Amino acid sequence: MTDLLPDQLTKWQNVENIIKEQLSRANVKEIRTPIVEMTELFVRGIGEGTDVVNKEMYTFLDRGERSCTLRPEGTASVARAVINNGNLKGTLNKLWYMGPMFRYERPQAGRQRQFHQLGVEYIGYESPNSDVKIISLAWDILQKLGISELILEINSLGDRTDRESYKISFLKWLKDNYDNLDQDSRERINKNPLRILDTKNPNTQKLLEYAPKLNQFLSERSLERYSFIKRQLEILKIPFIENLNLVRGLDYYSHTAFEFTSGALGSQATVCGGGRYDDLFDQMGGDKTPAIGFAIGLERLILIAGKRLEKSRDPDIYIVNKGQLAESLAIALSRKLSNFDLITELDLSGSSFSRQFKKANKSNAKSVVVIGDEEAKKKEFSIKLFNNSIETSNEVTISVEDNVKLEQWIQKNLNLNISAKK
């Protein structure tokens, strides 16, 4: 688990702001669920045979001897929240969440044990057009952030009946090929055979090329649905690759499954994953509710988001001051400036004027306020654009009481569309 330091967080905040703006334009509302849930939620929701549940959850007994788990993902929690809150009044819900998730995986570049996801869930949405909308929303967000070498892979997992009939044929094949399977896959045969399709073992992956394929078992309805989605993506000019082995690592999916990878990432190339989960709600004791969503891994996204997003806003005003009286006045002035849409840096070092000026210069501040004891005694300060020149034509002296003059100067020189909220 890693710290995120101020220098890194500029990019995080810029990325988060762009995402939030996109989501708000699509009228998606935020939901916040607890970080700790009952373990049972994930066992039932994500599935017992998955790596996430079997090997990766941070699970502990609380003081009441209840088994609790730090959330490894957000979809199950959102579904629980929607059920607990009466299906959020029976309406269709478009929800997003952002926050830390926890998986006990082997850490490496792009893979942490605490990582962050931005998730979007469209709940109550059944039509194949909602699949298209969700995929295009993810695509547009990633494009907006300047993600390069983006590849969208999609597959259809069919419905429960499709998968049951596939399972029979796949199980037979697995038993016939038992001797050539890796240990992990052998253990999955009885627990959750479809998970074998998700294997990371290269030999088993090769062997699986000869296994029966799920798409051969999709009903006509499922195939039609899938074809419609592919056609619509083509119309929207969203390029995709079909990956028949894409089953995703969580058990709740049906029909559409998709992942976005970027060649700009290393081995952990998946930046976003999602799909439809029409069976999750009734599996968890709620009403049958169709739904689809995705989650973006923010650490991976930040690694490859455009460089321009690393830049933070420079201070608009740097307040240089020296002496006790001047310092008190500087504090009062910085409070007044906090009513404007301005970034103010108040120097509290007590060091010499020349040192403070050097720091102001280094901070790239647009302007500088100077308060010495002389000014402080007269209850005034001087302000000028900080451009390294001796030329001081824009320098003015302003009384601390004179809000109008201060506002005029700011408006004229800092080029801000300010509105004081006094």
For binding to ligand HAM (CB under 6 A), which residues are involved?
73-75, 103, 105, 111-112, 115, 117, 119, 121, 249-250, 270-275, 277, 293-295, 297, 299-300
- Quick one: 134 exposed, middle or buried, by C-beta within 10 A (0-12, 13-18, 19+)? buried
Integer Cα distance of 50 and 21 in angstroms:
34
At 360, the amino acid letter reads A
Specify the 3-state DSSP secondary structure of 96.
strand
Q: What are the beta bridge partners of residue 119?
A: 97, 295
The packing angle between helices 183-191 and 160-176, to 10°, is 140
Residue 16 beta carbon to ligand HAM: minimum distance, rounded to whole angstroms: 15
Q: What 8-state DSSP symbol labels residue 381?
A: E
The H or E element that residue 7 is part of is: helix 6-25
- Strands 114-123 and 58-61, bridge-based pairing: unpaired
Within a 10 A sphere around the Cβ of 199, how many other Cβ atoms? 18
Integer Cα distance of 379 and 102 in angstroms:
54
CB 399 within 8 A of CB 379: yes
Q: What 8-state DSSP symbol labels residue 249?
A: S
Residue 5 beta carbon to ligand HAM: minimum distance, rounded to whole angstroms: 18
Integer Cα distance of 403 and 412 in angstroms:
14
Taking CB positions, which residue lies at the least distance from ligand HAM? 297
Q: What are the beta bridge partners of residue 294?
A: 120, 274
Q: Quick one: 98 or 410, whose CB is closer to ligand HAM?
A: 98
Q: Quick one: 218 or 301, whose CB is closer to ligand HAM?
A: 301
Give CA separation, 156 vs 68, 387, 394, in Å: 33, 60, 65
Residue 322 beta carbon to ligand HAM: minimum distance, rounded to whole angstroms: 48
Q: Quick one: 273 or 315, whose CB is closer to ligand HAM?
A: 273
**Strands (DSSP E) found in 111-176:** 114-123, 150-156
Residue 240 beta carbon to ligand HAM: minimum distance, rounded to whole angstroms: 16
Integer Cα distance of 117 and 300 in angstroms:
10
Residue 229 beta carbon to ligand HAM: minimum distance, rounded to whole angstroms: 15
Q: Quick one: 153 or 407, whose CB is closer to ligand HAM?
A: 153
Residue 75 beta carbon to ligand HAM: minimum distance, rounded to whole angstroms: 4
Q: Quick one: 124 or 275, whose CB is closer to ligand HAM?
A: 275
Residue 271 beta carbon to ligand HAM: minimum distance, rounded to whole angstroms: 5
Q: Quick one: 192 or 356, whose CB is closer to ligand HAM?
A: 192
Q: Quick one: 69 or 75, whose CB is closer to ligand HAM?
A: 75
Residue 48 beta carbon to ligand HAM: minimum distance, rounded to whole angstroms: 16
Q: Quick one: 236 or 269, whose CB is closer to ligand HAM?
A: 269
